[in-house]
Chain A
Amino acid sequence: MHKLLTDSPGSGQFLLGNEAIARGAIEAGVAFVTCYPGTPSSEIPLQFFQLTRETDIYFEYSVNEKVALEVGAGAAATGLRTLVTMKHVGVNVAADPLMTLAYVGVKGGMVIVTADDPSLFSSQNEQDNRYYARLSGLPMLEPTTIQELKDLTARAFELSESLKLPVLLRTTTRLNHMRGSVTLGPMQAAITKKAFEKDPFNTVTVPAVSRRLHRVLLSRQEQALALAENWEANQIIGRGAFGLVGNGMAFNYILDAVNDLNIKDRTSLLKLTFSHPLPRDLCLQFLKQVETVLVVEELEPVLEQELKALAYDNGLDVSILGKNTGGLSRLFEYNPALVRQALARAFGLEFPDPGTIDDSDIPDLPQRPPTLCAGCPHRATYYEIKQVYGEETIYPTDIGCYTLGLLPPISMADFLICMGSSVSSACGFAQAAEQKTVAFIGDSTFFHSGVTGLVNAVHNRHNFTLVILDNGTTAMTGHQPHPGVDGRPIDWNRHRVSIEQMVKGCGVEDVHVIKPFAVKKSIETIRSTLDSPGVSVIISQEICPLFAKSAKTAKAKKPYFVDPDRCRNHRDCVRLLACPAIYLDGEQVRIDEAMCVGCALCAQVCPEKAIRPI
């Protein structure tokens, strides 16, 4: 049995933040779960993927976040408890349905998890999705501890049903990827099927309906405000003159700083876990009992500005510090020492600096950026494309493992803004720039938002080559299936959608499928696209070796070795491929036998044929 299905209230489990969220949903009787994976949210749906065979909970990896939210909206409108998860930038993709779903509302409780990524551990930006609560008018919960991740997720479903609105549950990477002890609660049974009750004049958003629904949303916000005021996890702790406000993970840094500085008696802490709409009365009570306030919130000054507006409206003369004024930045995540320092400065306290190690004499160390794995088929495809298209061609890229093609020696990534942007930006480059354009997109990303760009390219007669890197899985986020995968090895019985047929269906006439580890043949095929007019597509098919290993889809191949008698030290293998299994032992090139998966790319690149299977 999956550990998250353990029915023993009161017992403890050591859970990852994302597991705690999944458990909270299970305790609330969630019946319907949709998502598009993305760090740091991916392990929430992973739990449901794993336990889907043991329960009646419906789970799907949707093709993108907009689709995930709309699928979920159908279930919630039917009355099922629904969980939809995504990373922060995924909410941008889902923003269109989100804004109007707020008008229509929900019948079954709906919780939308937005997992933000301060410091951009694995993202293209660090936007603060608290603004989405303000933009949509939806209530937002922000857990601060591992226990609250579970408890507030469970309670969010009830909140959603009482307000008839989706609830946004916001986390940050540090919460998603922390582990701690969680006390389990009782589990409600999931209701997985209901009769949909028609109510078109409240659920079909023609202008006349939406004019009324906007009013409804505003009144529901008033109800949400009343609930936030009385939400027991929104609280003022202490009665001191130093006011501290924090949300999410930052609240923990405040607690530790207060302990370190030994100022518990002198502080008042305002903890806001139901942070939108802002509980005004509670905040006013807080502002009135303190002299100075430091707002500790990662990223944007959301609470700071709202508290300042509140103080102004009520004629309060309280000093509210935060971004810049409190020595806190809008950039990157915080840490306990940084927050302690900000506190000490804001309240004029001394904290003996424990002193850090002097690391000024440490030599410059070689960097260790993430890299394509040994045996990664993307390396072969990149090598072959560069052989034909060279360095001058513009290479718009996309989001996935293959974004690592940015780094030398591959250096084949020139433009990236979001999922799917490779194809559409290639249309712009092909039209505006003098060079040739070859765009790269992964299989899952192609389904996510590449298809629409391709239709645009064909219709508008743009002239470029699109390379679809089809490694049979969503590799970067942890090998989730997508519509194009062979589900058999992972016992995932869903219909398989052919990328090749889709591309042809979009109207592309020049379509090729290559097997990138057949180097010579692949290069010949790629060469045929050089002067092909219009849009050509190369689908490079080879399974991700990490996935193949874990799903046991292929027998392990023999590793390769460099024959020192034949090696003439051209080092093409090292210089052009930078495979992590290939290294220099003094002047001699060698292959790490334990790392090599036998893809034979280097053997085909070696001009001396010095690389052979062991």
Chain B
Amino acid sequence: MQDKRIVFVGVGGQGNLLITRLLGEAALAQGIPALVSEIHGMAQRGGVVESAVVLGNINSPIVAQGEADILVGFEPMETLRAIGKVRKNGLVVTNTAPLPPFTVSIGQGTYPDPKHILGILCEKVRQVFHFDAKARAEEAGSLQSLNMVLLGGLIGLNELPITPEAMKATLKANTRRSFLEANLKAFDLGLEQTWLKL
């Protein structure tokens, strides 16, 4: 298989680390070599959280600037901030619902116009898949399932050697029963956003 490098960027509390782990588990279940890198500690107190999954014959779990095949952004401004991680011909999957940092409310900077953010993103890479993942998560019945919407969006690109069915099997095996229904629904809603659209 072709090597793949995927970077995830979000805000502490959005569930970024859970889906990187699940993606890694799904790869392992299919016998695909996978490494994940995470950041714990101070970064989790509402700051930016970046994680990565590399699939294939790669020894380094981290992804250098300009080397990600796919960037999954949980928050539009953070997607923009991290865009340099993506290679020139790469792909972006991003949530469009803003989560402004507290610095904005105390007058340190202004949150950019979301349309402007998307405009810049679209100029930089091969293709940007953007949708309101927050609304999809609400539709699925739980705001907490935003990460599952984005995981669906990533798998829907059909760029990774992990099928939607295989991913869902991993979700089923690793999710508490009370969250499972909402999470699977959220995953499907995310999948619809990108499936066969590349």
Contacts and interface: CB of A to CB of B under 8 A. Distances in A.
Interface string A248-284: 0100110110010000000000000000000000000
B105 A578 contact: yes
B109 A367 contact: yes
B43 A122 contact: yes
A357 B83 contact: yes
Nearest to B121: A362
B86 A357 contact: yes
Given A39-B42, A178-B35, A337 B77 contact: no
A404 interface: yes
Interface stretch (A370-378, A412-420, A500-508): A370-378
A366 interface: yes
Contact of A337 (B21, B48, B57, B67): B67
A97 to B, nearest CB: 26
A42 B39 CA distance: 12
B186 to A, nearest CB: 16
Interface residue range, chain A: 35 or more
A528 B57 CA distance: 65
A575 interface: yes
Nearest to A404: B45
Binding site secondary structure of chain A: loop
B5 to A, nearest CB: 10
Contacts of A493: none
B37 interface: yes
B41 A368 contact: no
B106 A179 contact: no
Contact of A181 (B28, B41, B111, B125): B28
B34 to A, nearest CB: 7
Interface string A349-363: 000001111110111
Contact of B48 (A16, A368, A579): A368
Contact of B102 (A180, A338, A578): A578
Contact of B108 (A42, A367, A371): A367
B44 to A, nearest CB: 7
A371 B47 contact: yes
Interface in A350-403: 354-359, 361-373, 401
Interface string A30-44: 000000000110110
B143 A408 contact: no
A121 B110 CA distance: 26
B46 A337 contact: no
Nearest to B81: A365
B41 A476 contact: yes
Contact of A256 (B58, B87, B111): B58
A370 B67 contact: no
Given A177-B37, A367-B109, A371-B102, A594 B47 contact: no
A121 B35 contact: no
- Most chain A CB neighbours (cut-off 10 Å) among B34, B59, B80, B116: B59
A583 B111 CA distance: 12
Interface in B42-65: 42-48, 57-65
A179 B45 contact: no
Interface residues of B, number: 60
Nearest to A145: B59
Contacts of B46: 368, 370-371, 373, 580
A574 B46 CA distance: 17
Given A363-B112, A370-B46, A579 B40 contact: no
A174 B62 contact: yes
Nearest to B5: A336
A177 B39 contact: yes
Contacts of A579: 102
Contacts of A256: 58-60
Given A335-B62, A355-B88, A365-B80, A583 B106 contact: no
B153 interface: no
Contact of A354 (B45, B62, B66): B66
A369 B39 contact: no
Nearest to B64: A337
A122 B40 contact: yes
Interface centre among B46, B67, B109 (most CB of A within 10 A): B46
Interface of A: 12, 14, 16, 39-40, 42-43, 121-122, 145-146, 173-174, 177-181, 249, 252-253, 255-256, 259, 335-338, 354-359, 361-373, 401, 404, 408-409, 476-478, 574-575, 578-580, 582-584, 594
Q: Name the 6 nearest CB pairs between A and B, nearest first.
A: A366-B109, A356-B66, A122-B41, A39-B41, A337-B64, A370-B47
5 contacts: A180-B36, A181-B28, A367-B101, A367-B108, A583-B105
